[in-house]
A and B are shown apart, each in its own frame.
Chain A
Amino acid sequence: MKIAVCYKLVPDEQDIVINGDHTISFDKAEWKIGQYDLVAVEAAMRLAEVAGGTVSALSAGGKQLENSKLKKNILSRGPVDAYMIIDETMSDADSYQTAYVLAKAIEKIKDVDLVVCGEGSSDMYAQQVGSQIGELLQWPSVNAIGTITLADGKLIAERMLETEVEVLEIPIPAVISVTSDIFQARIANLKDILEAGKKPVVRWDLDDIGGVPEMSTNVLSVLAPPQADRRRVIIGGDSGDQINEFYEHLRKEL
């Protein structure tokens, strides 16, 4: 089975700086692989290890994708190779544009049986790209997959909905989005990291895959959320008197 696992590079939200006018800045931010995407890579690897097959990593984005540390990072987690569509347009792409470009790349890679996506991107977390890739390829797609096995050429998967679990039979080729807790992402060892440097990386421009549609949304603003005014009465210790003081405040609200 040939599996493509999608990932996105995102700025580390810990490095976000809030400017005086409430706008935010990523100028000092480190870039990282989305945390849910690392889980998706693990799910793809586990399935390939059990069911047989290979995993390719796939991403579309801006110049950060060229970062050799991040290239090694993704490949040290098991994929045999990586495909990257690099264009500055893609660093602000909306979910439809992203899904469109990834779907075109999957067609170009050829013979992909399964596309695995994470629960959502760590930055926008719209949780849409997997569902949209499926529709663009006209393949069945499902989200919220919590377990997955291969039997008789079909995927048997459990889908974790809010109050119920569905056991599904998914014909391949297909696109699945996995839950954030399907597996814990592995930690690569030194050997994996060294080998990752030798694995092939295929780089495509937007022209190679036939361009990208226009954005379907306009971003009007991205601002730090307004902080609610709080009283901030903080009692500095937990002696009997201090707990009593805390209790008196609480009692008035009960």
Chain B
Amino acid sequence: MSRVKDVWVFTEKQESIAELCAGARQLGERVTVLAVGSRDRIERIIAFGADRVFYLGDTGADRTVEDYAFTLSKLIEEEAPDLFLFGATKRCRHMAGRLAARQRTSVLSDIMEFLTDKDEIQGTQMVYGGAAVRTLASKSATVFSVVGSGVFTSLPEDADREGDVRAVDFVEPAYRVRCMEKRERGGTSVDLTAAKRVIAVGRGIAKEEDLKMIEELARLIGAEIGCTRPISEGVNWMGRERYIGVSGVMFKPELYIAIGISGQIQHMVGCNQSGVIFAINTDTAAKIFSQSDYGIVGDLYTVVPVLLEKIRAAR
């Protein structure tokens, strides 16, 4: 696999800067991070693997991250990077789309794997709700891509790394949206992708209070809890950050226990790379069983209490 020359990185989240820098170093010769926020972050960004940092400035009462779209657009015009990687957040997605439109091209969205070949950049992505994997090549001078979370593994932080820092002048936006207020979103900001063991629940759980039993199981075995889309968006029993599937978390924990989950493809694409999969479901014909290592056809309200008892007894 040949490498392209210039790879740029833009993401709002400190954790994903390290991942994207590692990816950018695999794919390109020179890594440039476009940084918005506190100036103190710059040294760490270089330690994460950036060769250059273009420091755009900080947000404040009268300046949002989105307002930097015009500044970024001008930089792209001037420098024409080969590849521009964005984190998999709503904000980054929107920024990528806007910047790509200004360069008259599409974004390679949610790329799981990159190939750079014969001066062409290719990426693979899930389509049709996870029923297919599509491989695309971009024809544009600058290739824009939103990188799926967890695709690249961060390199160890190297405090001795040196890099160039360039402060970039702000370009006044021609049109903008004003942010009047910001508040924390309810729920914890759990990062399921970092969990080694995950228990996921689906509509087999009858009542919200029954989650207590699942929480107890998770606590005993040191697991995080995730869910299917109906649990987070249908009945709102869990936050969106816990929803596993095609438009939510996609990850590969060592152990995955699916409880009351039928195994629809839209869910399974999020977890089918797990090390070992266990399933509890009342329906013999549930799709989950053909995609599990161990399954039990049974009522979770019978099975889980017995498991709790046995795990407690074994401690």
Which residue of B100, B140, B177 is within 8 Å of A128 (Cβ)? B100
Q: Is the CB of A220 within 8 A of B135?
A: yes
Residues of B within 8 A of A227 (CB): 272, 291
B1 within 8 A of A: no
* A219-B295 contact in complex given A143-B90, A167-B179, A181-B233, C-beta closer than 8 Å: no
> Size band of the A side of the interface?
35 or more
Q: Is the CB of A221 within 8 A of B134?
A: yes
Q: Is the CB of A131 within 8 A of B127?
A: no
Bound-state Cα–Cα, A208 to B106, Å: 23
A191 within 8 A of B: no
A135-146 CB contact bits vs B (8 Å, 1 = yes)?
A: 110111111100
Bound-state Cα–Cα, A241 to B289, Å: 20
Residues of A within 8 A of B171 (CB): none
Q: Is the CB of B93 within 8 A of A128?
A: yes
Q: Is the CB of B179 within 8 A of A13?
A: no
Q: Is the CB of B233 within 8 A of A165?
A: no
Residues of A within 8 A of B91 (CB): 161
Q: Is the CB of B302 within 8 A of A238?
A: yes
A204 within 8 A of B: no
Bound-state Cα–Cα, A213 to B104, Å: 9
Q: Is the CB of B299 within 8 A of A238?
A: yes
B79 within 8 A of A: no
Bound-state Cα–Cα, A147 to B93, Å: 20
Which residue of B109, B131, B276, B314 is within 8 Å of A253 (Cβ)? B276
Q: Is the CB of A13 within 8 A of B104?
A: no
Bound-state Cα–Cα, A224 to B134, Å: 9
Q: Is the CB of A225 within 8 A of B126?
A: yes
B269 within 8 A of A: yes
Residues of B within 8 A of A166 (CB): 179, 181-182
Please report A residues at the B interface, Cβ cutoff 8 Å.
11, 13, 16, 24, 94-97, 99, 119-120, 122-132, 134-136, 138-144, 156, 159-171, 174, 180-181, 213-225, 227-228, 230-238, 240, 242-244, 246-247, 249-251, 253-254
A-B contact pairs, 5 of them (CB 8 A): A95-B97, A142-B177, A164-B185, A221-B135, A225-B126
**Chain A to chain B: the 5 pairs with minimum beta-carbon distance, closest first:** A238-B298, A131-B97, A135-B101, A126-B109, A132-B101
Q: A131-B94, A140-B177, A218-B136 are in contact. List 8 more A-B contacts (CB 8 A).
A: A13-B128, A95-B97, A95-B109, A127-B93, A131-B97, A217-B139, A240-B306, A254-B221
